[in-house]
Amino acid sequence: MTKTLFFSVGEPSGDQHAARLIEQLHNRSVSNRTVERINVRGFGGPEMRRAGCRLDLDLTGHAVVGILEVLPKLREFFRFADQAEAVFRSGEIDGVVLVDFPGFNWHIAKRAKKYGIPVYYYCPPQLWAWGGWRVKKMRRNVDHVMTVLPIETSYFNQHGIPTTFVGHPFFDAVAQKQLDEITMRQLDAFSIDNDSDLDQSDSKLVAVLPGSRDHEVHRNFPIMLETIRRLSQSSPVTRFAVAAYRDRHCLWCRQQLTPTDRHLPIDFFVDRTSEVIETAHCAMMVSGSVSLELMARGTPAAVIYRVGRLLHAVGKRVLRVDSVTLPNLMGQRKVFPEFVSVGEPEPAIDFLHETISAMLDDRFYYSRVCGDLDRLREKYGQPGASERAANFLIEQLGCNQQTILARAA
């Protein structure tokens, strides 16, 4: 017998989480006498394809944030939902797995339930933080939630939604990541201009993480670059490594440097975020799930997120938490200092400069932050989420231990 799961994943980070889950579905299987096959198809990204998913649509290339970005693409997203419904109508799907991306995935869930297909939400939307009214959609259209944060487990349980805590898959990614040795050596060797007469014995590396989406990079990197300029004046031996998610992000960041920036101790890397975080003394970052990797690797960070006035005004009304950073929410304290930037960029630049300076120069403060991260990692940062989620899905599908994943040809 063949079982088929349909995944719907719209974010690059979700693509990675889903890919690890698909790999674990394969790893959990043992081929003995009776073999059931699990096909995986759906909407996602290149990582899922590499893991063996038959990709009906690369949805990650259409990721948007905020209503102003969503509105122009509404017709396109409805067309994608129609495409998924055609698959559901065929009767071939035994279960739907949603990963984050709620604005679109609510429609996928509703259409799946129309055909009696069970729906599982992995890495669910943060309804506990904002948009609590959407919990009715979750209860109506989702059969079971696989939660990744302790705070959301208690939240969904309180609202009568079947929930299983599996942990966050980001910690699986960190545990499995094989760091590139060439990049590590390059980062270790990266230093101030050889012609400089400065004492480099106290040189420290600051990771610069400008985000994974185009608009995040464009809004936040100019603030980070001005901070780098100031830190280079106040802490001349400090080095900076920009970890870009895509080649185009790296190119855009390089283009922001002026002729007077040519002597800045700054280097650029693409798809080497883990290596940069592992090597860095501390980091300045755009709020996002990468904060979990900083937590897992024990690297202190200052967090910023630049938003427009309208989005900020709406956010103040709907947000039910006092932090935009996941480790802070886990630990229920500001382990990572954070700043939401609205309007003039100067306050955000001052925040980054003061906070990173403290991490570079104040040993007591730096040690305290590292200790907080160690305790947080020990409690919540252990790997195994992908395996637990795979076991849960196999059980829900009624498969036994003689199950294999049918990889795409």
- Domain-embedded: residue 174: no
Looking at the fold, whether 67 and 205 belong to one and the same domain comes out as no
What are the pLDDT digits (tens) for 194-209?
A: 445 555 557 899 999 9
Q: Does 194 lie in the same domain as 155? A: no
Query: Measured on CA atoms in the order 305, 311, 313, 318, is the torsion positive or negative?
Result: negative
pLDDT of residue 329: 83
Q: Are 300 and 373 in contact (CB under 8 A)?
A: yes
Specify if 260 maps to a domain.
Answer: yes
Let me know: does 337 contact 92? Beta carbons within 8 Å. Answer: no
Same structural domain, 282 and 308: yes
Structural domain of 263 = 180-380
Burial class (CB in 10 A: 0-12, 13-18, 19+), 137: middle
Say yes or no: 198 and 119 in one domain.
no
Does residue 292 form part of some domain? Answer: yes
* Tokens, residue 220: 């936040």
Within 13 Å and on the Cβ side, how many CA atoms surround 52? 18
93 shares its domain with 119: yes
> Is there a single domain that holds both residue 249 and residue 341?
yes
Please tell me whether residues 137 and 6 are part of one structural domain.
Answer: yes
Domain assignment of residue 278, yes or no: yes
Residues 194 and 254 in one domain: yes
When pLDDT is cut at 50, 70 and 90, the band that residue 131 belongs to is low
Confidence band of 193 (pLDDT split at 50, 70, 90)? very low
Q: How far apart are CA 98 and CA 43, in angstroms?
A: 10
Residues 370 and 392 in one domain: no
* Whole-number Å distance between alpha carbons of 159 and 163: 10
Evaluate whether residue 200 is within a structural domain: yes
Q: How far apart are CA 205 and CA 155, in angstroms?
A: 39
Q: What is the pLDDT of residue 324?
A: 73
What's the CA gap between 302 and 167, in Å, rounded? 24
Residues 319/244, Cβ–Cβ less than 8 Å:
no
- CATH number, domain with residue 245: 3.40.50.2000
What's the pLDDT score for residue 341? 81
With tokens 């036994």, the residue in question is 400
pLDDT at 159 over 60: yes
Identify whether residues 116 and 215 lie together within a single domain.
no
The predicted pLDDT at position 380 comes to: 86
Instruction: Tell me, yes or no, whether 213 lies in a domain.
Output: yes
The token duo for 158 is 């309180």
Asked whether the beta carbons of 204 and 192 are under 8 A apart, the reply is no
Task: Give the whole-number percent of the chain exceeding pLDDT 90.
Answer: 64
Residues 266 and 365 grouped into a single domain: yes
User: pLDDT of 63-118, one tens digit each?
Assistant: 555 444 555 566 788 899 999 999 999 999 999 999 988 889 999 999 999 999 99
388 and 298: one domain? no
- Domain total of the chain: 2
Has residue 175 been placed in a domain? no
Beta bridge partners of 286: 304
Cα distance between residue 44 and residue 99, in whole Å: 9
Please report whether residue 172 resides in a domain.
no
> SS3 for 278?
helix
